[in-house]
Structure 1
Amino acid sequence: MRLAALSILLAAASALPSHIIPGAQIIPANDKSALKSIGAHHQIYPDRRTITIRASKNEDDDISSDFLWAIHQANHGGRLLLEKGKTYMIGKKLDLTFLDDIEVQLEGQLKFTNNITYWQANNFYYSFQKSITFWRWGGQDIKIFGKGTLDGNGQKWYDEFSGSQILDPDNTFYRPILFLTENATRVSVEGITQLNSPCWTNFFVRTNDVSFDDVFIHAYSTNASVDAANTDGFDTLSVDGLRVTNTRVDNGDDCFSPKSNTSHIFVQNLWCNNSHGVSMGSIGQYSGVMDFIENAYMENVTLLNGQNGARLKAWAGEDVGYGRITNVTYRNIQIQNTDNPIVLDQCYFDVNSTECAKYPSQVNVTNIVFDNIWGTSSGKEGKVIADLTCSPNAVCSNISLSRIDVTSPAGSPPEIICDGIQGSIGVNCTSST
């Protein structure tokens, strides 16, 4: 009986088409009943050739090779479906920079292993702030959507990184970024949750036209003595076209922080809790390198319980770069219980006042609008609710504040500091001295 059963199993396996791996299936776009039965028939997105793969049996069951196979099968007009109620563990680095017209429908959980030894030795490395990632996505017309979760499994990383600084020049403990694009055009992410990234949640490198809508980013530590550090919501390097709408971020670091050479930014209906703010920058970090951020419009943003609110930030110190932040608008911004509601920081990162005075920032800040900003500070900076201090080595001009109604629990009237700003800023302000 056992031999007969084995023969049947072998015969069934050999009957599978050679291009389909065990546990997978490929459903044509015209088989609507089959697509509906697995949850691949979507009201918004037209039916496509759909590929499914086996789920992981447990958190040690790596399906990286299955996932890569499915991505190849779904490329050029198809869809990979990761099914609701199933978990797919990724335990090997993946180069996905060959994509062309592909959809990934994430309804289940796509999760990375927390094998720190493996990931420290096997990753994609970027010299910009010593960044690494589990995988990288590139190509054109990439769409990720669904109600599932992309999970970085970050707790073990938070525990082992505790007490370190990502920007410490001696730091060699690199933590992976959860989602990274490189040399990509037209990337869309919609509806998913991004959970517990070990480091930055999203990093876009040399990418054009990327949009996020209805996404929830959450990074938290279950260890009360350890923070989920450096878990920025959005970071960029050489990006033209970034759109973030109807998105929530609860992360303990920058909520939104485009960096070097980023332009045409649109943010609408963004909610940030426990963050370091909606920041333009930091830029000007690397010696002799010119950086810019320009043409950014942000409206209907809520910033709660954070370190910063609306922030512009640039590096100072010996051997830094130079550049510009220009044409930036913050409009209709609610800020509550935040240490620095409005801030221009040109003495970043942790540079002491002596070094900052000796080697001031060379990043010009021009054509900036802060309009209709209301709420409360935390009172940590006393009655100061805005601090706009321009570097003596930079030009800061055409900076406008209007309809500012932010109060401080430290008392009234609230104070606005402005140093080195050319021309009027539209409201009464005083020097820090």
Structure 2
Amino acid sequence: MKLSSFLFSSLAALAYASAIASENDFIPAGASITYPRSSSLYARIPGSYSKKPKKDNWGNKVESDRKKITIRASKNDNDDISQDFLWALKKANHGGLVHLKKGKKYVIGKKLDLTFLNDVYVKLDGELKFTNDIEYWQANNFYYAFQKSITFWVWGGKDIKIYGSGVINGNGQAWWDGFSGAEILDPNNKYYRPILFLTDNATNIEVKGLHLKDSPCWTTFMVRTKNVIFDDVYIDAVSTNVSSLPKNTDGFDSLNVDGLTVTNTRVNVGDDCFSPKPNTTNIFVKNLWCNGTHGVSMGSIGQYPGVKDYISNAWIENVTLLNGENGARLKAWAGPSVGYGYMDNITYKDIHIENTDKPLVLDQCYFNINETTCAAYPSKVNITNVNFINFTGSSSGKNGHVVADLACSPGATCSGIHLEEINLTSPAGDPAQIVCDNIQGDIGVDCIPSSEADD
């Protein structure tokens, strides 16, 4: 062997061993740190040659070039590994990967502040499961004033990828059994239920391939977040007790978000399938399947007195909505103490609907506001430049012949509303009816005022 080759190999081995040794100083029982034997290691050795390393979409290392952190699995549903998981994320921060192995369960029993992350991968092939210790979580959580939201943990920082074939399990049954149907928006409700996945003050978040299961409340909530992507995700909330069904288990919610993408995803929950809330813009949804939901909604917005809300620039394409209350829905608050704002530049395209009460609806009397109150204190949310293109399928017939109900608030402006290729039927018979009230201009199809609807 040439001396240069020998020196190169020796230096590489020493560098590798040194790196491993330095990381292994404080390792929890059952954990490990492994470095890749890749060109990125050898590139640190003077005079060595390596190919240009591959980069991910954010310009960071790909999986094969990252150090890998593993931790022990839980022995049972009460074996809390929260501190091990936190340790792993700290070790993987700035270019590493945490791997949670297939066939293993990792139980989280303590609240976790994960807002320090920068360039980290979490490969979840096993199951992350939260304890159902309601007493602990009611007293120990992260609270958000918007609709009295709490969560087990908060993810934040930059360039965070969470992916794999595994499950994040909210263990929601105990919560659904315990809250007895109380709405989160009920002013008397003090039974707060945690959100399963929440980001705050985050940039570049990707969630791919995971099953988000049985959230006690909303499944996801993105707050003050920029560029978040969900792809190939399955969300469900299914009760084993018919007397305590899941409630408020939305698939996707957001607040102050720029760039929200959901693709190739299935949602089976008892509330909104997709529901961006105030100040969400640049929304892209494609290939979404929703069963038993309250629809693919914009909003609600305009809830809080004196506060301006908006939703803008949304493209929703190729969505299937089955067995739900609503299909495509725009929702805004009305009443004596609400806010104001607007929705603008929104397109729903290629939407298939079956057995759904309200396939297409503009609801500006949102959340249990009766007609008298809504008329006296109408919504102040303007709706402009909204397209509904190529809707097919059938309503449930619950609202008679009406398949589209577009009732604009007299306190707001609704203009640029366009319907095209609306091929929706009703089991109540022909002709299907499209209702429009207080909308400025031609909407592109024949419509009738609500006073003439046969419902």
Is TM more than 0.5 here? yes
Match of 1:10 in 2: none
- Aligned pair 1:22/2:40, yes or no? no
Structure 1: runs of 5+ lacking an equivalent: 1-15, 33-43
Deviation at 1:251, TM superposition (A): 0.5
Q: Deviations over 1:303-356 (max 9, x none)?
A: 000000000000001110000001000000000000000000000011111111
RMSD of Structure 2 on Structure 1 (CA): 1.4
Query: What corresponds to 1:181 in structure 2?
Result: 199
Residue 18 of structure 1 and its aligned partner are, at CA, apart by: 2.7
1:289 and 2:307 matched: yes
Which of 140, 146, 158 in structure 1 is aligned with 2:176? 158
1:4-63 superposed Cα distances (whole Å, 9 cap, x missing partner):
xxxxxxxxxxxx94321111000002279xxxxxxxxxxx84331000000000000000
Separation in 1, partners of 2:424, 2:364: 22
Q: Classify the secondary structure of the residue corresponding to 1:160.
A: helix
Q: Report the residue type matching 1:92 in the other structure.
A: K
Please give the residue correspondences for 1:80-119 in structure 2 after superposition, counting only pairs within 5 Å. 80-119=98-137
1:8 aligned residue: none
Establish whether residue 52 from structure 1 lines up as the match of residue 90 from structure 2.
Answer: no
User: In the alignment, does 2:431 pair up with 1:413?
Assistant: yes
From 269, 293, 300, the equivalent of 2:287 is 269
Show the counterpart of 1:41.
Answer: none
1:158-197: per-residue Cα shift (whole Å, max 9, x none)? Answer: 0011221110011100000000000000000000000000
Aligned to 2:229: 211
Deviations 1:224-246 (A, max 9, x none): 11111110000000000000000
Q: d(CA) in 1 for partners of 2:416 and 2:38?
A: 59
Larger radius of gyration: 2
Kindly indicate whether residue 386 of structure 2 is the aligned counterpart of residue 368 of structure 1.
Answer: yes
Offset at residue 383 of structure 1 (A):
0.5
Q: Which runs of 5+ in 2 are unaligned?
A: 1-22, 40-61
**What is residue 247 of structure 1 aligned with on the other side?**
265
Aligned mates of 1:221, 1:31 — CA distance in 2: 47
Measured in 2, the distance between the counterparts of 1:54 and 1:343 equals: 50
Asked if 1:391 is matched to 2:409, the reply is yes
Given candidates 420, 425, 433, the residue that maps to 2:443 is 425
C-alpha distance in 1 between matches for 2:182 and 2:24: 51
Amino acid across the alignment from 2:409: S
Q: Identify if the C-alpha distance between structure 1 residues 108 and 209 changes in structure 2 by more than 3 Å, giving closer, same or farther.
A: same
Counterpart residue identity of residue 22, structure 1: A
1:3-82 correspondence to structure 2 within 5 Å: 17-30=24-37, 45-82=63-100
Structure 1 runs of 4+ with >2 Å offset: 44-47
Residue 40 of structure 1: aligned partner: none
Partners of 2:157 and 2:367 in 1: CA distance: 34
What fraction of aligned residue pairs are identical, expressed as a percent? 65
- Asked if structure 1 preserves the Cα contact closer than 8 Å seen for 2:279 and 2:310, the reply is yes
Q: Provide the rounded CA distance (Å) in 2 between the counterparts of 1:18 and 1:211.
A: 36
Matched, 1:377 2:384: no
Q: 2:297 aligns with which of 279, 293, 299?
A: 279
Who is 1:168 aligned against? 186
Q: Which amino acid aligns with 2:70?
A: T
CA distance in 1: counterparts of 2:83 and 2:303, whole angstroms:
38
How much has 1:219 moved relative to structure 2? 0.6
Q: What secondary structure, in the 3-state scheme, does the structure 1 residue paired with 2:135 have?
A: helix
Q: Write out per-residue CA displacement over residues 85-108 of structure 1, whole angstroms, 9 at most, x where no aligned residue.
A: 000000000000000000000000
TM-score by length of 1: 0.93
Which of 338, 343, 366 is matched with 1:320 structurally? Answer: 338
2:362 is equivalent to residue 344 of structure 1 = yes
CA distance in 1 between partners of 2:311 and 2:249 (Å): 21
Mapped contact 2:24–2:33 kept (Cα < 8 A): no
